[in-house]
Structure 1
Amino acid sequence: MKAIKYLLLLCLLAVCKPCFSVLKLADALQSNMVVQQNKAFRVWGTATAGHKVSVLADWLANPTTVVADKNGEFLALIDVPLAKAGDFTTHQILVQTQDEKLSLTNLLIGDIWFCSGQSNMQFSVKEMIGANEVLSSANQPHIRLLSVGLNFSATPIGNFSGKWQESTSDNVKDFSAVGYTFGKKLYDELNIPIGLIFSGIGASGVQAFVPQEKLQNNKLLNETYLKPYLASPKAKEKIDAGFSFEKVVRPFLLYNALINPFTNLSIKGFCWYQGEANHMERESYVTATQTLIKSWRTNFKQGDLPFYYVQIAPYFHEKEDDKLAYDAFFREAQAKVATLNNTAMVSTIDVGEAKDLHPKNKKPVGLRLAAVALNRTYSKQNLVDQGPEYNYVTFKKNVATIHFKAESLGSGLNTNDGNAPRFFYMAGEDQVFHLADAVIEGNTVVVSSKKVKKPVALRYAFFNYPVTNLQNREGFPVLPFRTDHWAEIK
């Protein structure tokens, strides 16, 4: 009888062998994904400790073999060729041990862009202006999408929820409007497969996306974000995936859960739209964002990956008062982030909605990010990718003449509505700003005000909620600026 039971147990184990599968790939590696072109592609996961793992891509003649370490973890590097314009061949990667095999199918070789931030990056295609037109042309099987489910973790983790999918109108409707518009433009211009990852959450603070040790190693960030959190009762709570407005601003939790799972993944670059949650900060925000960029680059181990980000849009915060300028000072701080190499900022100052924190005109935002990427990452240097940027001002009696950096002018100045430029303000030594008149003269703007007899300072679109009309002829807005260095009044 015992022998019969033993034989039955062996049979049961043989039938159920798949139930005890050991070979597993990282969540970031899935069928239907885009494989990053022209880089070593990491294939990682778990297998039986000490066992050989073979990785064979169908574009390579020979497999790469590695051995799972004592913890059962393995990582193999395989070469990936350049993507060719118009080549949408589907590929397969086979991963196997002596006992098991897994395959990734319907793969494309192209570029992956990683999109993150808060609600204006999360804002979906179905909510944007022109959604029906976008969705009607969204059946693009060579664009692939991955939307990552919300999670939090007190320690870095490798797992996440979410599946790579082909672009269809049904899959696109809930995807990031800015991210999809960006990726679709790249696809149209480059004619190669594009993969887009969205991994972020509305209302989140920049500190939530920075690794704990990086916050701890910087005195300003430690004092501003980390120590207050670790000293609070919140730090002792059990962390789960549930959303709360308070939880999404806690330091490092979102990095651990939404960014860390991808650090082995080969990508082309990052798109970032965040800031509203930190809009009353200045130096700490600049330091935190630059620390975020440097830490992501370090942890993704692919050099100084491009990082393109969006300046916050105009918003009145329920107060129609053009003397309130805290968001203007924050936009000024955001611009300073771009002093870091291989970064660039795009403006939304002309496409916002003063009374809506989540403006629906998202297409220009995605297109501007794409213009920056096409110019700076894909070497299309003749493509204008920025708006006119203040250079210097000259004063003569009661008139100010604004000069812009020549390389930012494009083919010249105009307004998007044919009216005179709006939102120029002048001040004398009393530091009281008055609304001024402005006219375009060639590549300059001439500004005057009857209320300021001897102007010493000028500000443009420098309050919370200006929706501007001044731009270059390519449609990129003049960036907000001020000529003074007076302290912010709080």
Structure 2
Amino acid sequence: MSTKKTILFLASYFAILAIAQSKITLPDIIGSNMVLQRDQSVPIWGTAGAGETILLAFNGQEKAAISDKTGKWTIWLDPMPANATPASMFLEGEDQNIELEHILVGEVWLCAGQSNMQWELQQSDGGKTAILEADYPNIRLFNASRDVAFKRKEGPLGSWQPCSPETVLTFSGVGYFFALDLYKELGIPVGMINSSYGGSQAEAWTPRSYLAASPELLPCIEREKTWEAERPQVQKDFDHRLKTWEIDVARAKAGGTKAPNRPRVPDALRDYRIAASIYRGMIEPLIPYAIKGALWYQGESNEERAEQYELLLTTMI
């Protein structure tokens, strides 16, 4: 390749690279159909090229920010009253325009916890009737994906969806009934963020630095060393029990008898039992989205350490 062609190639490469780096990206929680919290300053954030100017227009407000050297930027919207009229948000960078549609302003709540909160509406008492009646476009649902957070499934952590019989099926039953009651009482848009994980312990929802700062909670972190050392043998033993169980299930099916329960997965093999793991995967990506409050439905998985739980819960909060 001639020197001239090499120079042209490198120039084109770096031009393409610069464009790619300057692309505006938004977290999954910021998107079309979202509900913004009323009567609070509302942050909109993302990344772009370093030193890039980002312009934002929404609901009569026009704001701007310059990304820092790492490309991060945040724009704060002034407090707004509740508004059920869908509006668009426009974002503009040096080489890109983004439009987010059907945005409402109202109350935003986070619902989190273990299986009590994860329990889907379609599994709940009265769920079938509630699903058929779930035509509430001013209630918006964000269902954080456990598969994306922990099982390396490709795709967004979640997306905002208007409440309908189709979108509410797998949403938290507790979260939905709370949203419905709130919507009927206040008469304004309601946004619900469901970030729950069955079988989870409170330390998995707590920032690691908070746990490390407390001598009473430090064991929640230190047990990871034991799990790491034991994991190869624990995995081997569990695989053996699983194969034995599969054989027993086949025999039970052939003999017309009740099949045995599936072996319990040991804690050492449960990524979501690791301290701060759910916080990193299913809470931190939502910060600093403005909310009114949070619902917490968890505790059973910590019952063996009930005395520690009071400190653990207040530390998490």
Q: Using a 3 Å threshold, how does the CA distance of structure 1 residues 209 and 137 change in structure 2: closer, same or farther?
A: same
* Counterpart-to-counterpart distance in 2, 1:280 and 1:43: 41
How far did 1:109 drift?
A: 0.3
User: How many Å apart are 1:180 and its aligned residue?
Assistant: 0.2
- Pick from 223, 226, 231 the counterpart of residue 228 of structure 1: 223
- 1:215–1:221 Cα contact (<8 Å) kept: yes
Q: Which residue of 2 aligns with 1:38?
A: 39
Task: Report the CA distance between 1:231 and its aligned residue.
Answer: 4.6
1:263 is displaced (CA, Å) by 1.7
Amino acid at match of 1:292: M
Please give the alpha-carbon distance, in whole angstroms, between the structure 1 residues aligned to 2:41 and 2:172. Answer: 28
The alignment partner of 1:258 has SS state of: helix
Corresponding letter in the other structure for 1:39: Q
Partner deviation per Cα, 1:269-301 (whole Å, 9 max, x = no partner): 0001111111122221111011111xxxxxxxx
Distance 1:165 1:99 in 2: 29
Q: Is the 8 A contact 1:160 1:257 kept in 2?
A: no
CA distances 1:194-229 after superposition (whole Å, capped 9, x unpaired):
000111210001111011111111111113x11122
Counterpart-to-counterpart distance in 2, 1:206 and 1:40: 29
AA at the equivalent of 1:48 = G
> What letter corresponds to residue 49 of structure 1 in structure 2?
A
- In the other structure, the counterpart of 1:257 is 281
Aligned to 1:78: 77
Aligned residues between the structures:
276
Distance across 2 between alignment mates of 1:249 and 1:217 = 19
The answer to whether the 8 Å contact 1:148/1:258 transfers is yes
Shift of 1:103: 1.8
- Does residue 1:200 correspond to 2:196, yes or no? yes
1:274 and 1:178 mapped to 2: Cα distance? 12
SS in 1 for 2:74: strand
State the TM-score, normalized to the length of structure 1.
Answer: 0.52
Amino acid at match of 1:174: T
After superposition, residues 212-223 of structure 1 pair within 5 angstroms as: 212-223=208-219
Task: Assess, with a 3 A threshold, how the Cα gap between structure 1 residues 123 and 245 changes in structure 2: closer, same or farther.
Answer: farther
Partner secondary structure for residue 216 of structure 2 = helix
Is the 1:203–1:245 Cα contact (8 Å) retained in structure 2? Answer: no
Within 5 Å, give how 1:1-400 maps onto structure 2.
22-60=23-61, 63-83=62-82, 87-150=83-146, 161-223=157-219, 225-233=220-228, 246=267, 247=270, 248-293=272-317
* 1:37-95 deviations in Å (ceiling 9; x for gaps): 111111111111011111111332xx211111010111111113121xxx410112111
- Kept in 2, the 8 Å contact 1:152–1:253? The answer is no
Which amino acid in 1 is paired with 2:175? G
Q: Is the 8 A contact 1:46 1:73 kept in 2?
A: yes
Matching residue's letter, 1:207:
E
Matches within 5 A, 1:330-479: none
CA contact (8 A) 2:37 2:291 kept: yes
Q: Which residue of 1 is the match for residue 249 of structure 2?
A: none
1:389 corresponds to: none
Shift of 1:100: 1.3
SS of structure 2 residue aligned to 1:189: helix
Unaligned runs of 5+ in 1: 154-158, 238-243, 294-490
Over the matched positions of the two proteins, sequence identity in percent amounts to: 30
Q: Which secondary structure does the structure 2 equivalent of 1:25 belong to?
A: coil
**Structure 2: runs of 5+ lacking an equivalent:** 233-264
Inter-CA distance 6–50: structure 2 relative to 1 (3 Å threshold): same
Residue 4 of structure 1, CA deviation = 9.8
* Structure 2 counterpart of 1:249, one-letter code: R
Give, in whole Å, the separation in 2 of the partners of 1:229 and 1:5.
51
Residues 1:4 and 1:256: Cα distance change in structure 2 (over 3 Å): closer
Question: Do 2:32 and 2:100's aligned partners in 1 also have CA atoms closer than 8 Å?
Answer: yes
The 2-side partners of 1:220 and 1:146 are apart by 35
The CA distance in 2 between the partners of 1:69 and 1:245, in whole Å, is 44
Change (3 A) 1:165 1:245: farther
- 1:16, CA displacement in angstroms? 11
Question: Higher relative contact order at CA 8 Å, sep ≥6: structure 1 or structure 2?
Answer: 2
Question: Hey, what's the Cα distance between the residues in 1 that align with 2:31 and 2:229?
Answer: 35
Deviations 1:385-410 (A, max 9, x none): xxxxxxxxxxxxxxxxxxxxxxxxxx
Cα distance between partner residues in 1 of 2:16 and 2:48: 20
Task: Report which of the two structures shows the higher radius of gyration computed on alpha carbons.
Answer: 1
- Which portions of structure 1, spanning 4 or more consecutive aligned residues, are displaced by more than 3 angstroms? 1-21, 234-237
Q: Which has a greater percent of helix? A: 2
Q: CA deviation at 1:14?
A: 9.6
For the residues of structure 1 that align with 2:9 and 2:280, how far apart are their CA atoms? 45
Contact preservation (8 Å) 1:52, 1:67? yes
Q: Secondary structure at the match of 1:265?
A: coil
Q: Distance in 2 between matches of 1:259 and 1:10?
A: 41
Aligned partner letter, 2:190: I
Q: Structure 2 vs 1, CA of residues 169 and 75 (structure 1 numbering), >3 Å: closer, same or farther?
A: same
Confirm or deny: 8 A CA contact 2:149 2:157 kept in the other structure. no
Contact 2:131 2:169 in 1 (8 A): yes
CA contact (8 A) 1:160 1:261 kept: no
Give, as a single letter, the amino acid of the residue that structure 2 aligns with 1:96.
Answer: E
Quickly say closer, same or farther: Cα 1:6–1:194, change in 2 above 3 A: same
Report how far residue 98 of structure 1 moved. Answer: 2.2
